[in-house]
Amino acid sequence: MTLADTPEPPYVAVIFTSERTAAAAGEDYARMSAAMTELAARQPGYLGMESAHQDIGITVSYWRDEDSALAWKQVAAHQAAQQRGRERWYADYRVRVARVQREYSRSSSDFAD
Amino acid sequence: MTLADTPEPPYVAVIFTSERTAAAAGEDYARMSAAMTELAARQPGYLGMESAHQDIGITVSYWRDEDSALAWKQVAAHQAAQQRGRERWYADYRVRVARVQREYSRSSSDFAD
């Protein structure tokens, strides 16, 4: 997992944060997670993904526009993973859909403002 | 660290993602990070924060509006931490400022759409 190289804004970020159950420590969760990461990367409008898990899990996926983010949400295999997540893996979660308006990086002088 | 209970959108999310240096494993980074978390929570317009670190670090802070997010960026102690981060702790990073437009949670029937 490295940082996503997204294009110039605007684009869409889907911020998924979760508290996982003990069941999420299992093999089936790891398999689903890897499969969804790979499947997302093949969707139209996919721009990148960043993910980390410690006390809570955070996955931010980046999309060209709202339509491509929504289309990914509705891909059948992803719907099945979401369903299983609600049933087994997530004690709690939030999904926030946001429009990225500005981006700074290490090399950006804007950040020093 | 638990999930942030943010209000109804719209509000602002600042997505900070980083690749840390070996120096970030030290005590001074942990101290700075804890101090900034506490200081952020006392700023006007602060709505919450979610953070996890694994291969990469992800911290999402939530703000009432762009002005409160920008004001936090410019708080002197935070400026000093950012400067030290650029010098010592972050091999690479991205800061994305985004406007949250929709939010779903575990109890939200919208998510099943």
Residue A105 touches chain B, beta carbons under 8 Å: yes
Does residue B111 carry a pLDDT above 80?
no
Nearest to B66 by CA among B17, B102, B99, B94: B99
Q: Which of A58, A82, A99 sits opposite B58 (nearest CB)?
A: A58
Residue A90 touches chain B, beta carbons under 8 Å: yes
Return the pLDDT at A107.
74
Indicate the burial class of A47 (C-beta count within 10 angstroms; 0-12, 13-18, 19 or more): buried
Question: What is A42-67 written as a DSSP string?
Answer: TSTTEEEEEEEESSSEEEEEEESSHH
- Burial per residue of A14-46, b for 16 or more beta-carbon CB atoms within 10 angstroms, e otherwise: bbbbbbbbeebeeeebeebbeebeeebeeeebb
Query: What is the average pLDDT score of chain B?
Result: 93
The 10s digit of each residue's pLDDT in B26-46 is: 999 999 999 999 999 999 999
d(CA B38, CA B23): 22
Q: Taking chain A, what is the end-to-end CA distance rounded to the nearest angstrom? A: 29
| Residues B94, A105: C-beta atoms closer than 8 Å | yes
Residue A58 touches chain B, beta carbons under 8 Å: yes
Which of the residues in chain A have pLDDT under 70? 109-113
Q: Which of B13, B50, B82 sits opposite A98 (nearest CB)?
A: B13
